[in-house]
């Protein structure tokens, strides 16, 4: 067990180091974006003096190194800063008041997590079930159709799948609303109805990876001696797969599920924009347009942290599901 704990601590340390490196890349990349918020907010009335004044009040006149460590210190203490777009500019001499980045991101992140949760509840059981059935009936018509359907969905751009679903499920057959304009105060049922189309779009995108990995992991174990012994005992094929093969195939399945769950949080930008879903992806796009640097940096760091955290969870669960690591000889 000490060996497992040591590996987990190493993974956690590596995750923190990776997040630190990613934060540097995010900060540099965001600050290299073309355009300037001060010039954007002043418009045609911008003068060198007024631009310099706003940049000074926002701290944009400081060196990049100083601003990075100031931003990193705020991140560590939970202070994400203040959104530039929410500042109140008066007489072109800097800004006062305004919402903090955390206040702006919190409801949007909750919406994205709701969308990701709904998608996961649909996609994970569906993908694992299809993978088990494809392994059980491999090389049959069902196997081929399942592979063609999932590969076709993953090969198509997200916006294309979104518009196809809008056409068939919102225009020709008005089952779900085409716009996911959710807001505070909606009932759970109303929120779920508004979220279904983006959730179905993401389901079509992520199901193929999980389904094919489940199928491949189970098929690779079907030739194992203990599986052959179970078959010789007369155990039904479905029970052989579910009770004997699936538990030993959990490690690669968990990894691919975690990767796709990470995608549901970090890769929702296109889907949220298409459906006008008020999530963190939509906020990220809007903030890039107006060069709201604190919000863009915070969104990027949240995406990176979610991706790294879910990968760490996948590693840890894979380690805990491996009896050779839990009980070394």
Residue 108 lies in a domain: no
Give pLDDT, residue 89.
53
Based on the domain organization, do 272 and 162 belong to the same domain?
yes
Based on the domain organization, do 91 and 131 belong to the same domain?
no
Give pLDDT, residue 88.
58
Cα 132 from chain centre: 25
Based on the domain organization, do 7 and 22 belong to the same domain?
yes
Residue 111 lies in a domain: no
Instruction: Please give the tally of structural domains in the chain.
Output: 2
Based on the domain organization, do 54 and 172 belong to the same domain?
no
Residue 221 lies in a domain: yes
Give pLDDT, residue 92.
42
Based on the domain organization, do 134 and 210 belong to the same domain?
yes
Based on the domain organization, do 186 and 66 belong to the same domain?
no
Distance CA 158, CA 286 (A): 19
Query: What residue numbers bound the domain in which 54 lies?
Result: 1-99+290-329
Residue 125 lies in a domain: yes
Is the separation of the CB atoms in 258 and 308 below 8 Å? no
Residue 194 lies in a domain: yes
Based on the domain organization, do 74 and 175 belong to the same domain?
no
Give pLDDT, residue 51.
74
Residue 170 lies in a domain: yes
pTM (2 d.p.): 0.83
Based on the domain organization, do 152 and 272 belong to the same domain?
yes
In Å, how far are 142, 151, 213, 217 from 128, measured between CA atoms?
15, 15, 9, 11
Based on the domain organization, do 190 and 243 belong to the same domain?
yes
Based on the domain organization, do 155 and 277 belong to the same domain?
yes
Based on the domain organization, do 58 and 139 belong to the same domain?
no
Give pLDDT, residue 91.
41
Is the separation of the CB atoms in 154 and 249 below 8 Å? no
Half-sphere exposure of 107 (CA within 13 A, CB side): 10
Residue 110 lies in a domain: no
pLDDT along the chain (329 residues), means of 10: 76 89 90 72 69 76 85 85 69 55 89 92 91 87 88 85 91 89 86 92 88 86 80 81 78 82 82 90 87 87 88 78 59
Based on the domain organization, do 141 and 155 belong to the same domain?
yes
Residue 120 lies in a domain: yes
């Amino acid at each position: 067990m000490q060996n497992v704990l040591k590996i987990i601590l190493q993974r956690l340390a590596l995750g923190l180091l990776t997040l630190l490196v990613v934060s540097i890349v995010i900060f540099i990349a965001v600050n290299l974006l073309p355009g300037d918020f001060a010039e954007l907010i002043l418009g045609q009335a911008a003068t060198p003096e007024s631009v310099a004044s706003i940049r000074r009040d926002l701290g944009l006149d400081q060196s990049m190194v100083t601003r990075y460590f100031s931003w990193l210190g705020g991140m560590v203490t939970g202070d994400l800063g203040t959104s530039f777009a929410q500042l109140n500019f008066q007489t072109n001499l800097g800004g006062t008041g305004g919402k903090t980045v955390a206040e702006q991101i919190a409801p949007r992140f909750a919406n994205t997590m709701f969308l990701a949760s709904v998608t996961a509840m649909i996609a994970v059981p569906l993908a694992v079930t299809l993978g088990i059935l494809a392994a059980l009936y491999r090389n049959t018509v069902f196997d081929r159709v399942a592979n063609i359907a999932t590969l076709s969905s993953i090969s198509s751009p997200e916006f294309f799948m979104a518009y196809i679903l809008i056409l068939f499920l919102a225009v020709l057959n008005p089952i779900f609303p085409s716009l996911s304009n959710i807001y505070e105060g909606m009932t759970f049922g109303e929120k779920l109805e508004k979220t279904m189309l983006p959730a179905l779009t993401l389901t079509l995108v992520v199901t193929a990876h999980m389904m094919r990995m489940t199928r491949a992991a189970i098929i690779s174990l079907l030739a194992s001696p203990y599986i052959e012994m179970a078959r010789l005992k007369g155990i039904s094929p479905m029970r052989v797969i579910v009770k004997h093969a699936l538990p030993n195939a959990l490690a690669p399945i968990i990894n691919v599920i975690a990767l796709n769950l990470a995608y549901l949080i970090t890769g929702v930008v296109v889907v949220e924009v298409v459906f006008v879903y008020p999530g963190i992806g939509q906020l990220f796009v809007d903030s890039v347009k107006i060069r709201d640097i604190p919000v863009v940096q915070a969104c990027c760091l949240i995406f990176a942290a979610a991706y790294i955290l879910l990968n760490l969870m996948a590693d840890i669960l894979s380690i805990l599901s491996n009896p050779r690591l839990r009980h070394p000889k």
